[in-house]
């Protein structure tokens, strides 16, 4: 008996049990009709493969560490939400204000709560995905998955204090501050920081994010466009940029 088309396909797909496969092979050697049909199916299989291959794009270069850091960031966020219920109200309103991306919403997380524990125990360098040797005291902060570009807006200039900007290999923008009164709101382009108090602020920005703009009270104090950095800050030996806050921020040329 001639095997039907589905059996022949199973033969092509190597989905037959050994005994059935042997039976079919025996038949094919005696039956030119079925052997011809089998060749047609093999031809179909090849042409389907070729056709579908025309649809392909190059796979993106996603580093395995990006996957790990997203996963860890979510874990951190779960832990910090459990630990710091007081921040939940602000966090959820920020999340609600976020347009579009659920991934950003999931990744964003809050760091630290000084009233209960010193920041050093809240953010360990390995947890933060950062190799920074000494992170200053952190009382508030936000982290979110970086877009292609990011704009960080300080709504007002603190009277005194410092802003430090560093570039890291991670996938998240991390903004932290020494004051617990500082508020962070995600915008479509990045984050708006309302300082609340004087103090120091740290910005960690993924290296590949470009363009980057940092503004204080509407004035651009840092810009990176096509890899070119313009800033009035000074760079220390570790590559971190330091900007002094003052009440007279000037726009960059």
Ranges of beta strands (E only) in 124-227 are 140-145, 150-154, 161-168, 172-177, 183-186, 190-194, 199-206, 212-216, 219-225
Tokens 């079919």 locate to 24
Task: State which residue, 34 or 191, has the beta carbon closest to Zn ion.
Answer: 34
Residue of the chain from 31, 66, 168, 252 that contacts other proteins (CB under 8 A): 66
Tokens 């390995």 locate to 126
**Footprint on residues 202-241 left by other proteins (CB under 8 A):** 208
Build a one-symbol-per-residue string for 11-40: x at contacts with Zn ion by CB under 5 A, - elsewhere.
--------------------x--x------
Report the nearest approach of Zn ion to the CB of residue 49 (Å): 26
Residue of the chain from 33, 96, 102, 228 that contacts other proteins (CB under 8 A): 102
Report the partner that residue 2 touches, choosing among Zn ion, other proteins, none (CB closer than 5 to 8 A by kind). Answer: Zn ion
Contact call for residue 82 and other proteins (CB under 8 A): no
CA distance 149 to 168: 15
What 3-state class would DSSP assign to 185? Answer: strand
* Contact by Cβ (8 Å): 84, 76: no
Report the nearest approach of other proteins to the CB of residue 5 (Å): 6
Total residues binding Zn ion (CB under 5 A):
3
Report the nearest approach of Zn ion to the CB of residue 32 (Å): 8
Preceding omega of 204 cis (within 30 degrees of 0): no
């Amino acid at each position: 008996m001639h095997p039907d088309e589905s059996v022949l396909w199973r033969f092509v797909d190597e989905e037959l049990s050994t005994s059935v496969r042997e039976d079919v092979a025996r038949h094919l050697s005696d039956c030119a009709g079925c052997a011809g049909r089998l060749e047609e199916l093999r031809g179909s299989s090849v042409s389907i493969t070729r056709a579908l291959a025309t649809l392909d794009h190059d796979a993106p270069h996603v580093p395995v560490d990006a996957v790990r850091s997203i996963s860890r960031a979510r874990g951190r966020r779960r832990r910090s939400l459990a630990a710091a219920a007081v921040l939940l109200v602000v966090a959820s309103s920020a999340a609600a204000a976020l347009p579009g991306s659920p991934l950003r919403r999931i990744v964003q997380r809050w760091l630290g709560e000084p009233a209960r524990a010193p920041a050093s125990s809240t953010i360990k360098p390995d947890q933060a995905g950062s190799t920074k040797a000494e992170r200053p005291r952190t009382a508030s902060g936000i982290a979110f998955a970086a877009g292609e570009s990011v704009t960080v807006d300080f709504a007002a200039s603190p009277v005194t204090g410092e802003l430090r900007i560093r570039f890291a290999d991670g996938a998240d923008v991390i903004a932290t501050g020494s004051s617990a009164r500082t508020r962070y709101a995600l915008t479509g382009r990045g984050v708006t920081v309302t300082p609340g108090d004087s103090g120091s602020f740290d910005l960690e920005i993924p290296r590949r994010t470009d363009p980057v703009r940092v503004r204080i009270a509407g004035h651009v104090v840092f810009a990176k466009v096509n890899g070119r950095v313009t800033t009035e800050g000074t760079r220390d030996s570790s590559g971190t940029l330091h900007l002094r806050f003052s009440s007279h921020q000037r726009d960059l040329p």
